[in-house]
Amino acid sequence: MNPSPNLFLVGPTGAGKTSIGQRLAAHYGLPFVDLDVEIERRCGTTIAELFANEGEAGFRAHERAHLDEFSLREGIVLATGAGAVLDPASREALMSRGTVLMLGVDVDEQLDRLQGDTARPLLAVDDRRGRLESLAEHRNHLYEEIADLIFRGRRESVDDAVPRAIALLDRHWKRT
């Protein structure tokens, strides 16, 4: 376990990184940063527009730079984008600069949670199930590889999930 005042949340789209992360930050009295929100704010455009204008590689370059900056802070809860783990330097930064909590979710639950979501460019396809399964196949091992702790969803509300996540963190997170 990486003793650190930072908590970094990784996991697939729809796992709850933002909603659970906000509540964890409030519970521990830490600032919360949603990496995708910060990228949009600083770039002055949406993630979808970044993908359209700069392609996935261009977006990933912004993501890598912002993750590097925010992961250097002391005492934050950072919700990464689902694809942030694709970059080896980003994985190294997360592992070395904070405690990494993976939020796990299965494809059926992702489909339920993301049913009305039209903002995510990688999900703008006819076969969402196939896309989510493919993303899981390529990314889940990366989340697990860098995770200090793994928190699996149980098809429950955020109100029910957060106390379980806090209990897990209180048992294992060594904040310096």
113 labelled as ligand-binding?
A: no
Instruction: Find out whether 42 is annotated in a ligand binding site.
Output: no
154 is an annotated ligand-binding site residue: no
Q: How many residues does the chain have?
A: 176
Contact between residue 7 and residue 28 where contact means Cβ atoms under 8 Å apart: yes
Task: Check the annotation: does 18 bind a ligand.
Answer: yes
Token readout for 83 is 């694809």
Q: Are 3 and 27 in contact (CB under 8 A)?
A: no
3-state secondary structure 141-167: HHHHHHCCEEEECCCCCHHHHHHHHHH
Helix (H, G, I), strand (E, B) or coil at 79: strand
Asked whether residue 130 is marked as a ligand-binding residue, the answer is no
Tokens standing for residue 174: 């060594």
**17 in a known ligand binding site:** yes
139 is in an annotated binding site: yes
Cα atoms in the 13 Å half-sphere on the side-chain side of 8: 33
21 marked as binding residue = no
Q: Which residues are annotated as a binding site for Mg(2+)?
A: 18
Q: Which residues are annotated as a binding site?
A: 14-19, 36, 60, 120, 139
Q: Which residues are annotated as a binding site for substrate?
A: 36, 60, 139
Q: Which residues are annotated as a binding site for ATP?
A: 14-19, 120
